[in-house]
Every structure is written in C-alpha cells, then in structure tokens.
C-alpha cells in the first residue's frame, strides 16, 4: 500500500531534490533506482525479521535440523546447508525408522520425510470438476486483475494525446497508495457481512462482472480528459474505476474463504 507512494515520491530524485541529489550522476542515469530500492529494502528487512525472530520459523528449522541429525546418527550440526534442506524436503526414500522427536514435528513437509514407498498421486486424479472449476475461476480472476494492474500505471503516465492522463509519478503513487489503503479497509470491514448476506456465488459473479466496466473506463476517462482536461468528471471516473477494482478484489477473498 505504501510502496506506490514511496516510489512516486522518490522517482527522479535529481530533478525533485536537486539540492540533495542534483550532483549525483548515478541518480540522473538511473532516475528510478531509489523508487525501487527503498521498497525492496523494506521487503528484505521484513524477511530478515521473520526468519530470525518469528517463533514458528525458528521452531521449523530447529525441528528440521534435529530430524536430519537423528536420521544420519550424528550430533546436531551447527548449521544445515540450504541445499541439504531442500533435498531432504523432496526426498521420497527413507532407510531409518521414525524417532519420537520426528513424530512431534508440526509441519506436513517434515511428516512426508518419514513416509516410505508412498506413490505420488497421478495428475489425472486431480482433473475432477471441482478442481477444474476452481482453477478456471482463479485463472479468470488473475487474468483480469493482473491485466488491470499492468495497464493502470502506464495509463496514468501516458500523455493525454496518446490515450492516457499524463500524470507525474508522485501523483500516480498517491492514487495507488490511497486505493491500497481503502481497498484493504473495505475488505476487512465489509467482506464478511457481504458474504453472510449474499453468499459465495453472488459475490464471485458480481466481482468477475465488474471486470468489464473496469476495463471500459479506460477509454472513457481519456475521452473526457481530451475535451475537459483533468476536470472533476475525470477524477470522478477514476474513482469509479477504482471502486470497480475493489469489487473485483472481492473475488480473491471469496476464493480463499472456501
């Protein structure tokens, strides 16, 4: 939600903050470096905090190391290489009997390490109507949502005479961040009530149907921008488009709530 705002605010720093970055040739050559690096740094920090301080993650790797050490009749090693963890996770062969410490593992992936002679489920067994319908619904939803997300910032940045709105990066970041915050609050406070009142099928049908006007608003917004500029009508249509986008995102909640 905040990444678009940060990205828009830090784009082209040599032009927007000449006193600080004006003498840096690097930021003139790569004007979007800060806009990409700062959100990526937050993501990396979140991963590090999760990996080193989240109790569940520490327990998972501790239990995994115990299990692997007991299987090889070795003392607990100080560190297990990542490649060895991945190989052990997907290994289907086992020559050692289960030990009590391995039986206490909570992860299903660790439980699979102790199963012997388990034949994999054939793909044909998964090709049943419920699975195919769910996969098709998710594929349709993903196609609509990703297509909209890919075109939206390009549309905002493209000049009006070429079919867009001609907005600068900070304004685009503000719009996308405001949408992310409002959309998140809407899903949290209203989805459960809507689901209880209208049901799964109705919500998903309306959400997918909202993808049609969502896409059609692109040429409509540009048509008003060509004749009126960035008038209140244009911004109203942008708000309507984002409202349809929030309705489309209800389908994600619906699929994952089943």
User: Confidence class of residue 23 from pLDDT cuts 50, 70 and 90?
Assistant: confident
User: Confidence class of residue 105 from pLDDT cuts 50, 70 and 90?
Assistant: very low
How crowded is residue 1: how many other Cβ atoms within 10 Å of its Cβ? 13
Under 8 Å between Cβ of 171 and 16? no
Residue ranges per structural domain of the chain: 3-53, 55-120, 124-256
Compute the average pLDDT of residues 221-226.
93
pLDDT the model gives residue 126: 76
Compute the average pLDDT of residues 166-181.
85
Q: What is the DSSP letter of 117?
A: S
Compute the average pLDDT of residues 130-151.
86
pLDDT greater than 50 at residue 251: yes
Under 8 Å between Cβ of 222 and 156? no
Under 8 Å between Cβ of 248 and 148? yes
Weakest-pLDDT range from 44-58, 105-119, 135-149: 105-119
**Residue whose token pair is 């784009």:** 11
H-helix segments, the chain: 3-10, 13-16, 18-21, 25-29, 33-53, 55-71, 82-90, 100-103, 108-113, 123-126, 129-157, 169-198, 200-209, 211-228, 232-256
Residue 14 to residue 64: CA distance in whole angstroms: 49
User: Confidence class of residue 176 from pLDDT cuts 50, 70 and 90?
Assistant: confident
pLDDT tens track for 51-81: 777 766 566 666 666 666 665 554 444 455 5
Residue 52 to residue 79: CA distance in whole angstroms: 14
Q: For the whole model, what pTM was predicted?
A: 0.58
Q: State how far Cα 34 lies from the chain centre.
A: 21
Residue 148 to residue 153: CA distance in whole angstroms: 9
Under 8 Å between Cβ of 160 and 166? yes
């Amino acid at each position: 939600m905040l990444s678009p705002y940060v990205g828009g605010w830090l784009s082209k720093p040599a032009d927007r903050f000449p006193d600080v970055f004006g003498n840096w040739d690097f930021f003139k050559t790569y004007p979007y470096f800060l806009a990409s690096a700062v959100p990526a740094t937050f993501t990396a920090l979140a991963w590090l905090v999760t990996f080193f301080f989240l109790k569940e993650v520490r327990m998972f790797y501790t239990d995994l190391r115990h299990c692997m050490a007991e299987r090889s009749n070795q003392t607990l090693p100080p560190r297990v290489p990542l490649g060895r963890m991945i190989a052990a996770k997907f290994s289907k062969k086992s020559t050692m009997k289960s030990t009590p410490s391995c039986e206490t593992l909570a992860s299903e992936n660790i439980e699979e390490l102790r199963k012997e002679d388990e034949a994999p489920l054939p793909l044909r067994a998964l090709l049943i109507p419920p699975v195919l319908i769910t996969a098709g619904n998710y594929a349709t939803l993903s196609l609509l949502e990703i297509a909209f997300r890919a075109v939206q910032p390009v549309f905002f940045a493209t000049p009006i005479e070429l079919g867009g709105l001609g907005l600068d990066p900070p304004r685009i970041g503000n719009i996308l961040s405001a949408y992310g915050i409002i959309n998140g609050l809407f899903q949290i406070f209203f989805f459960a009530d809507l689901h209880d009142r209208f049901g799964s099928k109705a919500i998903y049908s309306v959400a997918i149907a909202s993808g049609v006007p969502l896409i059609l608003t692109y040429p409509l917004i540009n048509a008003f921008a060509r004749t009126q500029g960035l008038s209140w009508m244009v911004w109203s249509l942008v708000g309507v488009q984002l409202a349809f986008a929030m309705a489309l995102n209800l389908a994600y909640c619906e699929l994952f709530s089943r």
